């Protein structure tokens, strides 16, 4: 699903990742471990196409395609999902509108066809009901006034609606109580067709996801793989 070859990454000419080589198999539940500042978030954000980082050398191959030079939008449409650790608030953009435009873009990219409003609302209602998310949340602005746990539940709504090939979850258990953590675990465990790469400092959370491999970073390098 994902192959990283000799990847070196910097920000403002400061080296952050050095000679990263990593293979993540289709269907894996792959955990990134390491101390704070070891390069975990840098790596996942680089995979997702964050333009804050500069790829100095190396390649990122996703599902057989070289995406090293692709932007974040293209990578998302190709099937890479990112749940960042610190998500932005977007005043003026409702969750409903955000999800609608996201789903329309994915449908058109995948099939060349338009997504009808009826089809969108039917899928949204099914997933919203499954996650027990209040209807009134959909008319609120993205992440504005939401608690950490509520933001994680909206992340799950996005995840189930888009059904990505590859989902990156940066500390999904952070800021979530036990009930929300269980909901995250249950959701991951019933998505066998999605490959997951996640960062977590909680062994109990990682064990519940049935991780298939752990890669440990230190000072921007892989020390255990």
Condensed to tens digits (0 to 9), the pLDDT of residues 59-97 reads: 999 999 999 999 999 999 999 999 987 788 999 999 999
> How many distinct structural domains can be found in the chain?
1
Beta-sheet strand order (sheet of 54-62):
14-24, 2-11, 54-62, 65-66
Query: Is the pLDDT assigned to residue 175 strictly greater than 80?
Result: no
The range of the structural domain enclosing residue 215 comes to 2-224
CB atoms near residue 73 (< 10 Å): 11
Helices (H), the chain: 40-48, 72-78, 95-111, 117-131, 148-162, 178-189, 203-208
Contact 24, 215 (CB under 8 A): no
Query: Is the pLDDT assigned to residue 204 strictly greater than 90?
Result: no
Q: What is the pLDDT of residue 22?
A: 96
Q: What is the pLDDT of residue 84?
A: 85
Query: Is the pLDDT assigned to residue 176 strictly greater than 90?
Result: no
Nearest-CA neighbor of 169 among 197, 207, 131, 202? Answer: 197
Query: Is the pLDDT assigned to residue 205 strictly greater than 90?
Result: no
Q: What is the pLDDT of residue 202?
A: 81
Torsion of CA 154, 155, 158, 159, to 10 degrees: -140
Q: What is the mean pLDDT of the chain?
A: 93
Question: What mean pLDDT do residues 97-108 have?
Answer: 93
**Which CATH number belongs to the domain containing residue 15 in this structure?**
3.40.50.300
Query: Is the pLDDT assigned to residue 142 strictly greater than 80?
Result: yes
């Amino acid at each position: 699903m994902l192959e990283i070859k000799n990847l070196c990454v910097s920000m403002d000419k400061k080296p952050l990742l050095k000679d990263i080589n990593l293979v993540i198999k289709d269907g894996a539940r792959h955990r990134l471990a390491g101390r704070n500042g070891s390069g975990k978030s840098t790596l996942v954000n680089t995979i997702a196409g964050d333009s804050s980082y500069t790829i100095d050398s190396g390649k990122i191959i996703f599902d057989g395609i070289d995406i090293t030079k692709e932007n974040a939008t293209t990578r998302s449409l190709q099937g890479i999902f990112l749940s960042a650790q610190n998500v932005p608030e977007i005043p003026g953009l409702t969750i409903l509108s955000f999800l609608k435009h996201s789903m329309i873009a994915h449908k058109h990219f995948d099939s060349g066809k338009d997504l009808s409003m009826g089809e969108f609302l039917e899928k949204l209602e099914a997933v919203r009901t499954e996650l027990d998310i209040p209807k009134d949340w959909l008319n609120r602005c993205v992440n504005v006034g939401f608690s950490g746990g509520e933001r994680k539940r909206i992340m799950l709504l996005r995840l189930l609606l888009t059904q990505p090939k590859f989902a990156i979850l940066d500390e999904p258990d952070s800021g979530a109580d036990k009930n929300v953590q269980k909901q995250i675990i249950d959701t991951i465990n019933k998505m066998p067709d999605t490959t997951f790469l996640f960062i977590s400092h909680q062994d109990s959370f990682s064990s519940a996801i049935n991780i298939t491999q752990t890669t440990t970073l230190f000072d921007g390098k892989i020390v255990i793989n």
